[in-house]
Amino acid sequence: MPDTAQFRAQVLALLRTFTDQGATVLFTSEASHEAPDDDLRFLSDGVVTLLRCANGARTLEVSKLRGSDFLPGPHDVTLGAQGMRVLPRLIPSQHSSPFAPQLINSGIPELDALAGGGVHRGTITLLSGPSGSGKTTLGMQFMKEAAGRGESSALFLFEEDIATLLHRADALRMPLRGMAERGMLHLERIEPLHYTPIQLAHALRHQVEQRHVQIVMLDSIAGYGLALSGHDPLVELHTLCQYLKNMGVSVFIVNEVDASTAGRLSSSTFDLSPLVDNVLLLNLVVEQGALRKQVRVLKRRTGDFDKRLAYMDFTEHGIRVQLAPQPGLEASAYGSHCAAH
């Protein structure tokens, strides 16, 4: 039996024989740390590396292709009944769509007044607050108004079940069920570890480029990070949101925090402040023995806004927003949080 060096020499000679005859050669190599294939890579005009990750996902990466450009980095690969499918990784700068940066509103005059008339199309809005403060419901309100304008939305749920969400919407007389039936709303429950970041990006791209959705909501940041276990959620979220902004899609991100830190811009794992354009802070307070919901606008990158505090009530007739009656209430509830910013 020839040793490794002799075997490599014979393989290289064989490949040269084929190429000298004008043949296009495709060959496979199972490299390892003990037996690298650097000499074969050097001889080749193109190198495609296939890997199987620890979580079972498959990736493909082109590291060399003489005389041609290629998209670097790892791309997802799936094998199924229809054969092999390659999902290229998302490069936001390669995607754009012209759009007018007009205001989109919630349909609640008092809330829109706080937000300077609404949020601009193609911006990222953070809905931050403790559990039960109304973050998802407020996001659904924007999607309800979008449906009234004839626009479609997509809601990706990383924690709550679709049935539970629709039940809550029915109780508030929000027509989410009808919107979904008419194709104006796409609802998708994302199970932990079900998608890779690239697969999730392609799911969103399908909604934007095929169904032409104009509002996307991700509920929530914590669930998003869990779904992408093993990847940096901030990097992946930045890539995803930049693509959506380039396409003129308005993004709403739900961020659940502890009630004691409801006025901060960071989640439990990373800082969101550089990423978002608008921030709506929600909180729960007990006043005169009753639990009340509060809302205020903390940030609006595209213009001025009303800094005052407001109360928010969810009724069978919809969401009602009222300004806080006394400045003292505003200071006691949020003064320490605002001082930090």
CATH number of the domain enclosing 51:
3.40.50.300
- E strands in 137-269: 153-157, 185-189, 215-219, 250-256
**Are residues 46 and 127 part of one domain?**
no
Q: Which domain holds residue 297?
A: 103-339
Has residue 173 got a pLDDT over 80?
Answer: yes
Res 340: pLDDT? 33
What is the token pair recorded at 178? 């009808």
Measuring CA to CA, which residue among 335, 308, 339 is closest to residue 324? 308
Has residue 195 got a pLDDT over 70?
Answer: yes
CA–CA distance from 264 to each of 153, 260, 273, 295, 338 (Å)? 28, 9, 9, 13, 9
If you average pLDDT over residues 309-319, what whole number do you get?
A: 89
Is 288 within a domain?
Answer: yes
Distance CA 272, CA 195 (A): 22
Is 306 within a domain?
Answer: yes
Res 224: pLDDT? 86
**Are residues 107 and 89 part of one domain?**
no
Q: Phi and psi of 236, rounded to 5°?
A: -65, -40
More confident residue, 19 or 209: 209
Q: Is 84 exposed, middle or buried (0-12, 13-18, 19+ CB in 10 A)?
A: exposed
**Are residues 136 and 108 part of one domain?**
yes
| pLDDT tens track for 145-163 | 999 999 999 999 999 999 9
Is 251 within a domain?
Answer: yes
Per-residue confidence at 335, pLDDT binned at 50, 70, 90? very low
- Which residue carries 């509060």 as its tokens? 294
- Can you tell me whether residue 85 is helix, strand or coil? strand
The share of the chain scoring above pLDDT 90, in percent, equals 51
**Are residues 172 and 64 part of one domain?**
no
CA–CA distance from 97 to each of 50, 124, 247 (Å)? 33, 16, 5
More confident residue, 38 or 47: 47
What DSSP letter does each residue of 219-255 carry, written as one string? E-HHHHHHHTTTS-HHHHHHHHHHHHHHTT-EEEEEE
Res 156: pLDDT? 96
**Are residues 108 and 59 part of one domain?**
no
Contact assessment for residue 267 and residue 285, using Cβ atoms and an 8 Å cutoff: no
Is 15 within a domain?
Answer: yes
Is 98 within a domain?
Answer: no
| pLDDT tens track for 55-68 | 678 889 998 998 88
What is the token pair recorded at 177? 């069920």
Element (H, E) at 267: none
Taking residue 307's Cβ as centre, other Cβ atoms within 10 Å add up to 12
Which residues, 6+ apart, have CB-to-CB distance to 173 below 8 Å? 316, 317, 318
Has residue 328 got a pLDDT over 90?
Answer: no
Of 38-47, 230-239, 257-266, least confident by mean pLDDT is: 257-266
Is 19 within a domain?
Answer: yes
Is 20 within a domain?
Answer: yes
Distance CA 255, CA 225 (A): 11
Has residue 85 got a pLDDT over 70?
Answer: yes
Has residue 339 got a pLDDT over 50?
Answer: no
Contact assessment for residue 95 and residue 246, using Cβ atoms and an 8 Å cutoff: yes
**Are residues 53 and 171 part of one domain?**
no
Contact assessment for residue 286 and residue 266, using Cβ atoms and an 8 Å cutoff: no
| pLDDT tens track for 259-275 | 666 555 444 456 778 88
Distance CA 49, CA 30 (A): 10
Is 262 within a domain?
Answer: yes
- Can you tell me whether residue 259 is helix, strand or coil? helix
**Are residues 69 and 134 part of one domain?**
no
**Are residues 244 and 169 part of one domain?**
yes
**Are residues 113 and 23 part of one domain?**
no
Q: Determine the Cα angle at 283 with ends 281 and 285, to 5°.
A: 155
Q: Which of 93, 125, 155 is the last residue of a domain?
A: 93
- Which residue carries 């990373």 as its tokens? 270
Per-residue confidence at 296, pLDDT binned at 50, 70, 90? very high
Q: Which of 93, 123, 158 is the last residue of a domain?
A: 93
**Are residues 110 and 55 part of one domain?**
no
Number of separate domains in the chain: 2
Measuring CA to CA, which residue among 144, 155, 150, 154 is closest to residue 207? 154
| pLDDT tens track for 86-109 | 989 999 999 999 998 899 999 999
**Are residues 52 and 17 part of one domain?**
yes
**Are residues 147 and 17 part of one domain?**
no
Q: Which of 93, 112, 141 is the last residue of a domain?
A: 93
Measuring CA to CA, which residue among 81, 53, 83, 63 is closest to residue 196? 53
